[in-house]
């Protein structure tokens, strides 16, 4: 069967991945209401189409913090890409480079930041950071990412503790023995590591707005905060000097019962008033979804799980282009 849309790749991944891996990628927190609502919320939004607008010239390019990308869809941070493809995040980085878009690399990568940078030396990459109790580890990782040529630092703000992901608990999810969180390889004793490859409770739950200032003291990279869902937090983010906001609920994997990201977007855009760039992830599956997010004020959207489905299909950089274009990006120009 030809692969013509993201749901085709999703079905392929579900069929071919081991059950525990599929449920790790697909799962959400508790009853998965927020995960599911991320998708359903787009179906509640309707277009008001305008006609006779001269669509003879189509240009999907946009600019993120001064860097041009070819279309307003980037790759969101997700962990453990080697569960889907043996090359892991190196393959993801090469695909983003080939498509000239932004790839946000996860702290929980199965390749090091140096390996990812070497795999796609001309790629546009940001680095996603969890702040750990051992601040020296986080500081070292920030400095390594900057030295490797990453162009932005994305602080995940919505994970003081890992969400209750029922499927992972039922499956006793563990990384395979040959696989590690490569950025921390050799730092922890192997027997002390939990299902997610690091010791339990290693992420610092005391993280707060003052940690933005701490990060600013470590790096010259622009700081983007991921996990904002309210106008109040958007205002605080601006007051603390961030350059970007990603409206995100962690794919519904953290707090179940929170809003769909597209439903939170309008109040955040209204609060920000173009003073910082606003992006969005969660629930994007079609070009129409991209258009809806852009029309409501997002500068760019990011996809997480669909990138993992593409890796599962064992695509190379050339066929990644066909995969990414299944969004029908030309739709994004009519708003």
Query: What is the rounded CA–CA span in Å between residue 276 and residue 64?
Result: 11
Does residue 261 have a known ligand-binding role? no
| pLDDT value of position 325 | 55
Query: What is the rounded CA–CA span in Å between residue 65 and residue 87?
Result: 29
Domain range annotation of the chain: 6-47+55-332
Instruction: Give the homologous superfamily in CATH for domain 6-47+55-332.
Output: Aldolase class I (3.20.20.70)
Query: What is the rounded CA–CA span in Å between residue 235 and residue 3?
Result: 42
Contacts of 197-206 spanning 24+ positions with Cβ under 8 A: 197/80, 197/108, 201/133, 201/161, 202/132, 202/133, 202/134, 203/130, 203/131, 203/132, 203/133, 203/159, 203/160, 203/161, 203/162, 204/131, 204/132, 204/133, 204/135, 204/160, 205/160, 205/161, 206/160
Under-70 pLDDT residues of the chain:
189-195, 314-335
Does residue 88 have a known ligand-binding role? no
Using alpha carbons, select from 90, 135, 133 the residue that is nearest to residue 109. Answer: 90
| pLDDT value of position 185 | 84
Does residue 182 have a known ligand-binding role? no
Does residue 128 have a known ligand-binding role? yes
Query: What is the rounded CA–CA span in Å between residue 196 and residue 95?
Result: 25
Residues 6+ apart with CB under 8 A from 41: 260, 261, 262, 263, 283
| pLDDT value of position 316 | 39
Does residue 304 have a known ligand-binding role? yes
Give the pLDDT confidence of 194-240 residue by residue, as tens digits.
657 778 888 999 999 999 999 999 999 999 999 999 999 999 999 99
Does residue 53 have a known ligand-binding role? no
Backbone φ, ψ for residue 168 (5° rounding): -65, -35
- From residue 323, give the alpha-carbon distance in Å to each of 8, 79, 281, 286: 10, 20, 18, 12
Query: What is the rounded CA–CA span in Å between residue 91 and residue 120?
Result: 9
| Catalytic positions, written as ranges | 250
Is residue 327 exposed (0-12), middle (13-18) or buried (19+ Cβ within 10 Å)?
buried
| pLDDT value of position 281 | 98
| pLDDT value of position 199 | 80
| pLDDT value of position 195 | 56
| pLDDT value of position 10 | 96
Query: What is the rounded CA–CA span in Å between residue 25 and residue 168?
Result: 10
Does residue 77 have a known ligand-binding role? yes
Does residue 228 have a known ligand-binding role? no
Does residue 284 have a known ligand-binding role? yes
């Amino acid at each position: 069967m030809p692969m013509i849309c993201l749901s085709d790749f999703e079905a392929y991944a579900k069929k071919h991945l081991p059950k525990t891996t599929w449920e790790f990628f697909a799962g959400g927190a508790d009853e998965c209401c927020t995960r599911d609502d991320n998708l359903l919320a787009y179906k509640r939004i309707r277009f008001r189409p305008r006609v006779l607008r001269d669509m003879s010239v189509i240009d999907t390019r946009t600019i993120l913090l001064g860097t041009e990308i070819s279309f307003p869809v980037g790759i969101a941070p997700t962990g453990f890409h080697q569960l889907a493809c043996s090359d892991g995040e190196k393959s993801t980085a090469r695909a983003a480079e080939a498509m000239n878009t932004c790839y946000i690399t996860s702290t929980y990568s199965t390749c090091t930041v140096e390996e990812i940078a070497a795999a796609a030396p001309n790629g546009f990459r940001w680095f996603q950071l969890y702040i750990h109790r051992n601040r020296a580890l986080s500081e070292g990782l920030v400095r390594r990412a900057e030295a490797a040529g990453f162009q932005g630092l994305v602080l995940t703000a919505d994970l003081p503790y890992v969400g209750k992901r029922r499927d992972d608990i039922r499956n006793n999810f563990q990384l395979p023995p040959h696989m590690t969180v490569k950025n921390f390889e050799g730092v922890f004793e192997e027997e002390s590591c939990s299902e997610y490859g690091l010791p339990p409770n290693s992420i610092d739950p005391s993280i707060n707005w003052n940690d933005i200032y701490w990060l600013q003291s470590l790096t010259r990279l622009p700081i983007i905060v991921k996990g904002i869902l309210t106008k109040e937090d958007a205002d605080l983010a601006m007051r603390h000097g961030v350059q970007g906001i990603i409206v995100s609920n962690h794919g519904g994997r953290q707090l179940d019962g929170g809003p769909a990201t597209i439903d939170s977007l309008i109040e955040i855009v209204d609060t920000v008033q173009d003073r910082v760039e606003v992006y969005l992830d969660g629930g994007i599956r079609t070009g129409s979804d991209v258009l809806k997010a852009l029309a409501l004020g997002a500068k760019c959207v990011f996809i997480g799980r669909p990138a993992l489905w593409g890796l599962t299909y064992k695509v190379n950089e050339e066929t990644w282009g066909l995969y990414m274009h299944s969004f029908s990006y030309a739709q994004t120009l009519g708003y």
